[in-house]
């Protein structure tokens, strides 16, 4: 299943000289939705002082400006980063490029800013050609099967399902919660057509590389990029698919999986229904 056991990184400083650009995930790496991880912030500070370029790439189904406001509430210093890109940004770009279509928003009201000043969003699902999912509906709860009848009606009416956050779960504080990716997986299982925006799909990496290349005015060499994340299906698969080295952080969504230092990566891959994946490196937490 694996080519080799991944390399454990004790001190991040030992590998920092090999990379110039860092694609860093937010949830599970920089914060847990409630507070920042001090050691991770220290890593960003050290990288910044060494003139490294830091790009935060998040599967948040919201605009980068909204995510920045959230980070400021956590007392995150935005001067530590060069760029922030979200799956919401890529989703929004798709909607704006398809003005001839009507879209329906499925998700919590807090994500409605994603559609600010977009005219082709309808509140009548019968008028929509595609459904944009940003997450679960609060009043329906965390039981995915509760969506079956609703989804079957959409599928029978040939509605495409746009997933604005491919993550299936996220670690919020001490809890694991379902995300839009879990609904997309269920929709596909029921026979529906799904389009994904964000990691691990190529468009968000192309977007990030083009943006940072424009800022630096240079051609980016992928072998000088390191992707850091806590999710095998999005962060690590996305890095591998785009020929980028990766570092898996274990104290995010897999923090309960590796209790007592039981590092069984074969079991982890099987539990995520992943047949073939090369995890390059791993670290218990992002720490200098």
Distance of alpha carbon 78 from alpha carbon 253, whole angstroms: 24
**The pair of three-digit structure tokens given for residue 143, joined into one six-digit string:** 């039981």
The pLDDT, as a whole number, for residue 107 is: 93
Domain 7-88+200-283 indexed as CATH 3.40.50.300: no
Nearest Cα neighbor of 53 from 20, 76, 26 is 20
User: What does each of the 288 residues of the chain score in pLDDT, given as a tens digit?
Assistant: 445 678 889 999 999 999 999 999 998 899 988 899 999 999 999 999 999 999 999 999 999 999 999 999 999 999 999 999 999 999 999 999 999 999 999 999 889 999 999 999 999 999 999 999 999 987 887 789 999 999 999 999 999 999 999 988 876 766 778 899 999 999 999 999 999 999 999 989 999 999 999 988 888 999 999 999 998 889 999 999 999 999 999 887 777 666 656 667 777 777 666 767 877 899 989 999
The CATH superfamily label for domain 99-196 reads HAD superfamily/HAD-like (3.40.50.1000)
**pTM as predicted:** 0.86
The pLDDT, as a whole number, for residue 139 is: 80
| Residue 51, phi-psi category: left (phi > 0), alpha (psi -120 to 50), beta (remainder) | left
The domain limits of the chain are 7-88+200-283, 99-196
* Phi, psi for residue 106 in degrees, rounded to 5: -110, 110
Q: 176: helix, coil or strand?
A: strand
Eight-state DSSP code of residue 19: -
Residue with tokens 């959409």: 154
The pLDDT, as a whole number, for residue 2 is: 42
Domains 7-88+200-283 and 99-196 alike in fold: yes
Calculate the CA 105 to chain-centre distance.
19
């Amino acid at each position: 299943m694996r080519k080799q056991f991944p390399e454990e990184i004790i001190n991040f400083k030992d590998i920092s000289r090999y990379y110039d650009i860092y694609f860093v995930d937010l949830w599970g790496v920089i914060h847990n939705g409630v507070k920042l991880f001090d050691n991770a912030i220290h890593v960003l500070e050290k990288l910044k002082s060494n003139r490294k370029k830091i790009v935060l790439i998040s599967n948040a189904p919201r605009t980068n400006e909204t995510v920045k406001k959230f980070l400021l509430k956590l007392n995150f210093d935005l001067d530590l980063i060069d760029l922030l890109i979200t799956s919401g940004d890529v989703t929004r770009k798709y909607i704006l490029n398809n003005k001839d279509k009507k879209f329906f928003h499925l998700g919590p009201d807090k994500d409605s800013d994603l559609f600010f000043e977009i005219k082709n969003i309808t509140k009548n699902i019968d008028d929509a050609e595609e459904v944009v999912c940003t997450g679960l509906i609060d009043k329906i709860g965390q039981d995915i099967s509760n969506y079956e009848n609703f989804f079957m009606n959409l599928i029978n009416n040939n509605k495409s399902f746009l997933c604005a956050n491919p993550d299936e779960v996220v670690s919020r504080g001490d809890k694991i919660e379902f995300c839009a990716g879990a609904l997309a997986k269920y929709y596909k299982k029921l026979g529906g057509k799904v389009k994904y925006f964000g990691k691990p799909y190529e468009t968000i990496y192309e977007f990030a590389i083009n943006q940072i290349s424009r800022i630096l005015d240079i051609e980016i060499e992928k072998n000088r990029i390191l992707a850091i994340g806590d999710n095998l299906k999005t962060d690590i698969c996305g890095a591998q698919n785009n020929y980028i080295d990766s570092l898996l952080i274990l104290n995010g969504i897999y923090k309960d999986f590796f209790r007592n230092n039981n590092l069984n990566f074969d079991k982890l891959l099987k539990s995520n229904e992943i047949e073939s994946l090369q995890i390059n490196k791993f670290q218990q937490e992002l720490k200098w």
